[in-house]
Amino acid sequence: MELICPAGTPSALKSAIDAGADAIYCGFNDETNARNFPGLNFSRAELRQGIELAHRRGAKILVAINTFPRAGAIEVWHRAVDDAVDAGADALILADIGLMDYTARRHPDQRIHVSVQAAAANPDAIAFYVETFGAKRVVLPRVLSVPEIAAISREIECETEVFVFGGLCVMAEGRCSLSSYATAKSPNMNGVCSPASHVAYEQTREGTSSRLGGFTINRFGANEPAGYPTLCKGRFATELGTGYIFEDPVSLDATALLGGLRDAGVTALKIEGRQRGRAYVESVVRHFRGALEALDAGREADIARLTPFTEGQTTTVGAYRKTWR
Amino acid sequence: MSYPSSPTGESLPSIPPLLARVMRPLPLLPLEIVLARFMQRICRRNPQIFDRLGVHAGKRFGIKPTDLPFAFVIEASTQRPRLSVMRELPAALDARISSSLANLLALVEGRVDGDALMFSRQLVMEGDVEAVLALRNAIDDAGLDLAKEVADLFGPLGEPVRQALDAARNSLMKPNPLSQETRPWS
SS (H, E, C) chain A: CEEEEECCCHHHHHHHHHHCCCEEEECECCCCCCCCCCCCCECHHHHHHHHHHHHHCCCEEEEEECCCCCCCCHHHHHHHHHHHHHHCCCEEEECCHHHHHHHHHHCCCCCEEECHHHCCCCHHHHHHHHHHHCCCEEECCCCCCHHHHHHHHHHCCCEEEEEEEECCCCCCCCCCCHHHHHHCCCCCCCCCCCCHHHEEEEEECCEEEEEECCEEEEEECCCCCCCCCCHHHCEEEECCEEEECCCCCCEEECHHHHHHHHHCCCCEEEECCCCCCHHHHHHHHHHHHHHHHHHHCCCCCCCCCCHHHCHHHCEECHHHHCCCC
Q: How far is B173 from chain A (nearest CA, A)?
A: 15
Q: What percent of chain A has pLDDT over 70?
A: 99
Partnered with residue B63 across adjacent β-strands are: B72, B97
Query: For residue A133, which of A109, A152, A155, A153 has the smallest C-alpha distance?
Result: A109
Q: How far is B29 from chain A (nearest CA, A)?
A: 30
Beta-carbon separation of B130 and A196 below 8 A = yes
Residues 109-138 of A with CB under 8 A from B: none
**Alpha carbon A238 to chain centroid, angstroms:** 31
A to B CB pairs, distance under 8 Å: 154
Q: Kind and range of the H or E element at B61?
A: strand B60-65
Mean pLDDT of chain A: 93
**Alpha carbon A201 to chain centroid, angstroms:** 25
Q: Which of A18-32, A269-283, A300-314, B20-34 has the lowest mean pLDDT?
A: A300-314
pLDDT of B182 over the 60 cut: no
Pairing of strands B95-99, B82-86: unpaired
Residue-level pLDDT at A107: 98
pLDDT band at B177 (very low <50, low <70, confident <90, very high): very low
pLDDT of B183 over the 80 cut: no
d(CA B37, CA B23): 21
Q: State mean pLDDT over B28-49.
A: 91
Residue-level pLDDT at B173: 66
pLDDT band at B86 (very low <50, low <70, confident <90, very high): very high
Beta-carbon separation of B136 and A307 below 8 A = no
pLDDT band at B10 (very low <50, low <70, confident <90, very high): low
Q: Kind and range of the H or E element at B60?
A: strand B60-65
In a domain, B161, yes or no: no
pLDDT of B176 over the 60 cut: no
pLDDT of B170 over the 90 cut: no
Residue-level pLDDT at A141: 93
In a domain, B151, yes or no: no
Domain with CATH 3.20.20.70 in chain A: 2-168+250-321
d(CA B140, CA A325): 41
| Residues 6+ positions from A19 with CB-CB distance below 8 Å | A5, A281, A282, A283, A285, A286, A289
The tens digit of pLDDT for each residue in A53-88 reads 999 999 999 999 999 999 999 999 999 999 999 999
In a domain, B55, yes or no: yes
Residue-level pLDDT at A80: 98
User: Domains in chain B: how many in total?
Assistant: 1
The tens digit of pLDDT for each residue in A277-325 reads 999 999 999 999 999 999 999 888 877 678 889 888 888 888 888 776 4
pLDDT of A43 over the 70 cut: yes
Query: For residue A27, which of A68, A107, A69, A84 has the smallest C-alpha distance?
Result: A84
In a domain, B160, yes or no: no
| Residues present in chain B in total | 186
Q: State mean pLDDT over B46-75.
A: 94
Q: State mean pLDDT over A128-149.
A: 96
Q: Kind and range of the H or E element at B124?
A: strand B124-127
Residue-level pLDDT at A211: 94
Please, what sign has the CA dihedral across residues A20, A51, B133, A219?
Answer: negative
In a domain, B52, yes or no: yes
Q: What percent of chain A has pLDDT over 90?
A: 72
d(CA B177, CA B59): 37
CATH class of A2-168+250-321: alpha beta
pLDDT of B32 over the 90 cut: yes
pLDDT of A171 over the 80 cut: no
Q: How far is A205 from chain B (nearest CA, A)?
A: 14
pLDDT of B1 over the 50 cut: no
Q: Residue B180: its chain A contacts at CB < 8 A?
A: 307-308, 313
Beta-carbon separation of A39 and B134 below 8 A = yes
Asked if A243 has any chain B CB less than 8 Å from its own CB, the reply is: no
pLDDT band at B4 (very low <50, low <70, confident <90, very high): very low
Phi and psi at A124, nearest 5°, equal: -65, -45
Q: How far is A207 from chain B (nearest CA, A)?
A: 10
What interhelical angle do A123-133 and A97-106 show, nearest 10?
Answer: 30
Beta-carbon separation of B135 and A39 below 8 A = yes
Asked if A316 has any chain B CB less than 8 Å from its own CB, the reply is: yes
- Which residue range forms the structural domain that includes residue B90? 17-145
Residue-level pLDDT at B175: 54
* ipTM score for this prediction: 0.92
Beta-carbon separation of B119 and A222 below 8 A = no
pLDDT of B11 over the 90 cut: no
CATH of the domain at B108: 3.30.1050.10
pLDDT of B28 over the 70 cut: yes
Residues 162-221 of A with CB under 8 A from B: 195-197, 199-203, 208, 220
In our burial notation (b when 16+ CB lie closer than 10 A, e otherwise), range A198-236 reads bbbbeeeeebbbbbbbeeebbbbeeeebbbbbbbbbbbe
Q: Residue A280: its chain B contacts at CB < 8 A?
A: 2, 5, 113, 115-116
Beta-carbon separation of A39 and B143 below 8 A = no
Query: For residue A284, which of A22, A1, A5 has the smallest C-alpha distance?
Result: A5
**Residue B177 to residues B7, B9, B41, Cα–Cα distance (Å):** 12, 8, 36
